[in-house]
Amino acid sequence: MSHPEVLDSLLHEERVFRPLPQMIIEAGINPQDLRAARDRADSDLCAYWEEAAEELDWFTKWDQVLDDSKAPDYKWFTGARCNIVYNALDRHIETVNKNRLALIWEGEPGDSRQFTYYELYRAVNRFANGLRALGVTKGDRVVLYMPQLPETVISMLACARIGAVHSLVFSGFSAKHLRERIREIQPRVVVTVDGFYRNGQVIRLKEAVDHALLDSPAEKLESVVVVHRANVEVEMDSARDYWYEDIVRHERAHASSEIMDSNDPLFILHTSGTAGKPKGIIHSHGGYMVGVHRTFKWVFDLKPTDIFWCSADPGWITGHSYLVYGPLLAGTTTVMYEGHALYPQADRLWNIISKYGVSIFYTSPTQIRTLMRFGHRYPDQHDLSTLRILGAVGEPFNPEAWIWFYENIGKSQCPVLDTWWQTETGMIMISPMPVSVLKPGSVTRALPGIDADVVDLEGNSVPAGKGGFLVIKKPWPAMFSAVLNDDRALVDHYWGIIPGMFYAGDVARKDEDGYFWIQGRADDVLNISGHRVGSAEVESALTSHPDVAEAVVIGVPDKIKGEVAKAFVTLIYDAMESDELHKELVDHIHRELGPIVVIKSIEFCDELPKTSSGKIKRLTLKEREDS
Ligand code: ATP
Ligand code: MG
């Protein structure tokens, strides 16, 4: 069998971490359950997901679990009627969860607000009624240009309650960016705030909305709703702008749930734009809620006493699925923090964990690498003993940062779950569970019900140890339904590249145990003297040097070798840049990866360019090199 486009795999990580016996005893899903679930899903995929769907409330059950007659336009739970908010709020207020904390919010200046499920339910209903009074109806779109505030959660749920499609635009984006999104999405209402706190500054969002809306790029836009947060002065257009307080003040705290078809859109959310122009991904009520609910409860092995904190911004998919919808569907307490991780100093996250007794902390490798630069003195100042599970998503988690997280934050007691998934997948796809045997740097195995593989361009599985393209071979419930304003995307970008399989755009390898190792993005594969190497492997090798905090490697043309690697690195706080260190790093790469990876040069940087969701923007560095 030929294997076009197979990658070399140079990095070998031998460390293995077995689950603590207590974790296995206490786990809701132990290793036998996990094996049984995999077997069930392998023998009957639809029965497996139907069982997951039965755990939620539906107004009308489905005719069919999966309609694949128009593949790749897959439809889940066809004929079913539901509303995700009914499952996230209403069904909890009938139970003891009614008085449980749903949301703990901390503002950057140190203020805090908390909502029980009942309080959140009432707040959502008030705003749902307020939006209805503004004329918003099922199918209308609402842009939320909002930071991490309780009203952001409330607005998302209020929209979903009435069948409006929410689209969060990250609060770090400029007016120009917002304008583009508004033009693309054509909302009826925009919800924003006067201002909010970020790294000690007040960021004025309403002002940005005013700029974005100059010369009316949005024909359908009727109203702008403004939440008070920073009490900065804003201009209010009396024909268009309303204060949130005025909208909700006289509204009833009960609102009916719109009866949605399982495949009606729930939200539009753009990808991070790491590889170019962000894509507007559309998710629907039914399948999304089933996939997110199941993965949230299983991956994090949820217990009734958990306090869950996902530090991602709701402006990207992790915030949607595992800050807002997942925790609320499961009836747990979710924590949200408004501000910057380094404000007022680099222990803020550890302070929040100890203050609220966070038991599950889900973050990103970027965040960990940033905090690692300050060493262990900050985590050592806080009581992190409530933590039982750690998780990460967003970028390859280099083993050194993984180990730092495991030892310094989890005190070698908490499993670190490296979860692989995307805006498009909606839910975690490849990930360990707390009872899994862990290998730092590996996302381990696909979850039950997910058929993932590593293949060549012709769709053949590549042998263990070789790299290839990461694909998903069967549909899954939380899969996106479409890409905004791009009817051909489903085939052109996802299901038609390797026919019949979902092409994730990442390269990976599987080891002898069937564990997946993400090697980077398919677009970022380096081609050095005929060897194809994933950028993540070279970056991982660099960050395994004790002085390096973060690293990016890009390919630059070379007359002799075709392509050589150029690296950009940031150093940990007490390391100094020098010619000796440069040489040492080049030698280190050779020791770690062998002689074929030729590093042309290493540039020391104070900071690396990142996307809004904190991912390193290789593209920006490449463009800089090319110009
Ligand atoms: P765009 O699609 O616009 O280029 P993006 O792919 O970064 O942006 P997201 O959907 O937010 O947008 O991110 C998904 C991607 O993040 C994955 O395809 C993968 O490259 C990376 N990723 C996510 N989780 C992991 C992980 N655990 N390990 C390695 N990479 C990961
Ligand atoms: Mg992507």
Q: Where do runs of H (alpha helix) occur along 44-97?
A: 45-53, 84-85, 91-93
CB 564 within 8 A of CB 586: no
Q: At what angle do helices 535-543 and 579-593 cross, to 10 degrees?
A: 120
Q: Which residues have C-beta within 8 Å of that of residue 276, sequence separation ≥ 6?
A: 619
* 340 found inside a domain: yes
Rounded Cα gap, residues 138 and 144, in angstroms: 17
Residues counted in the chain: 627
CA dihedral 507, 509, 515, 521 (to 10 degrees): -20
Say which ligand is closest to the CA of 274.
1
CB 322 within 8 A of CB 389: no
Q: Say yes or no: 460 and 570 in one domain.
A: no
Cα atoms in the Cβ-side hemisphere of radius 13 Å centred on 49: 25
Q: Say yes or no: 431 and 542 in one domain.
A: no
Q: Give residue 471 CA to ligand 2 midpoint distance, Å.
A: 13
Q: Give residue 570 CA to ligand 1 midpoint distance, Å.
A: 22
pLDDT at site 381:
97
pLDDT digits (tens, 9 = 90+) for 74-105: 999 999 999 999 999 999 999 999 999 999 99
Whether pLDDT at 562 is above 90 = no
| Domain stops at, among 519, 534, 561 | 519
Q: Give residue 179 CA to ligand 2 midpoint distance, Å.
A: 22
pLDDT digits (tens, 9 = 90+) for 178-215: 999 999 999 999 999 999 999 999 999 999 999 999 98
Residue 494: CB within 6 Å of ligand 1?
no
| Domain stops at, among 241, 258, 275 | 258
Say which ligand is closest to the CA of 271.
1
CB 167 within 8 A of CB 265: no
Rounded Cα gap, residues 503 and 516, in angstroms: 15
pLDDT digits (tens, 9 = 90+) for 10-62: 777 889 999 999 999 999 999 999 999 999 999 999 999 999 999 999 999 99
Query: How far out from the chain centre does Cα 288 lie?
Result: 14
pLDDT at site 478:
98
pLDDT at site 218:
83
ipTM score of complex: 0.99
pLDDT grade, residue 431 (50/70/90)? Answer: very high
Domain CATH number, residue 583: 3.30.300.30
Q: Say yes or no: 565 and 609 in one domain.
A: yes
Q: Give residue 422 CA to ligand 2 midpoint distance, Å.
A: 6
Q: Say yes or no: 139 and 224 in one domain.
A: yes
Q: Which residue, by CA, sits nearest to atom 29 of ligand 1?
A: 396
* 99 found inside a domain: no
12 residue type, one letter: H
Q: Say yes or no: 297 and 433 in one domain.
A: yes
Q: Say yes or no: 510 and 581 in one domain.
A: no
Considering the chain, what is the average pLDDT of its residues? 94
* 103 found inside a domain: no
Whether pLDDT at 377 is above 60 = yes
Whether pLDDT at 322 is above 80 = yes
Rounded Cα gap, residues 136 and 127, in angstroms: 11
CB 468 within 8 A of CB 3: yes
- Pull the structure tokens for residue 434: 């707390």
- Pull the structure tokens for residue 185: 């999405």
List, as one string, the DSSP characters of 144-160.
E---S-HHHHHHHHHHH
Q: Say yes or no: 37 and 162 in one domain.
A: no
Q: Which residue, by CA, sits nearest to atom 23 of ligand 1?
A: 394
Mutate to test the pocket of ligand 1, among 177, 269, 272, 619 (most ligand atoms within 8 A of CB): 272
505 backbone dihedrals φ, ψ, rounded to 5°: 85, 10
Counted domains in the chain: 3
Domain CATH number, residue 338: 3.40.50.12780
Q: At what angle do helices 31-43 and 45-53 cross, to 10 degrees?
A: 120
Q: Say yes or no: 455 and 327 in one domain.
A: yes
pLDDT digits (tens, 9 = 90+) for 229-282: 999 999 999 999 999 999 999 999 999 999 999 999 999 999 988 877 899 999
Residue 616: CB within 6 Å of ligand 1?
no
- CA nearest neighbour of 16 among 418, 438, 298, 405: 438
With tokens 């051909």, the residue in question is 488
Domain CATH number, residue 170: 3.40.50.980
Q: Say yes or no: 57 and 173 in one domain.
A: no
Give pTM, 2 decimals: 0.94
- Ligand 1, residue 318: give the atom nearest the CA: 11
- Ligand 1, residue 431: give the atom nearest the CA: 27
CB 283 within 8 A of CB 269: yes
Residue 520: CB within 6 Å of ligand 1?
no
Residue 273: CB within 6 Å of ligand 1?
yes
Q: Which residue, by CA, sits nearest to atom 31 of ligand 1?
A: 395
Q: Which residues of 179-189 are buried (b: 16+ CB within 10 A; e: fewer)?
A: bbbbebbebbb
Say which ligand is closest to the CA of 611.
1
Residue 167: DSSP 8-state: E
Q: Say yes or no: 449 and 589 in one domain.
A: no
Q: Which residue, by CA, sits nearest to atom 13 of ligand 1?
A: 422
Instruction: Report the range of poorest mean pLDDT among 90-94, 441-445, 459-463, 544-548.
Output: 544-548
Whole-Å CA distances, 294 to 230, 297, 313, 574:
37, 5, 22, 43
pLDDT grade, residue 1 (50/70/90)? Answer: very low
Residue 278: CB within 6 Å of ligand 1?
yes
Q: Say yes or no: 470 and 335 in one domain.
A: yes
Domain limits at 476?
Answer: 21-86+285-519
| Mean pLDDT, rounded, for 513-517 | 97
| Domain stops at, among 490, 519, 548 | 519
Q: Give residue 561 CA to ligand 2 midpoint distance, Å.
A: 30
Residue 275: CB within 6 Å of ligand 1?
yes
Q: Which residue, by CA, sits nearest to atom 3 of ligand 1?
A: 273
Say which ligand is closest to the CA of 281.
1
**Three-state SS across 502-556?**
EEEEEEEEECCCCCEEEEEEHHHCEEECCEEECHHHHHHHHHCCCCEEEEEEEEE
Q: Say yes or no: 217 and 160 in one domain.
A: yes
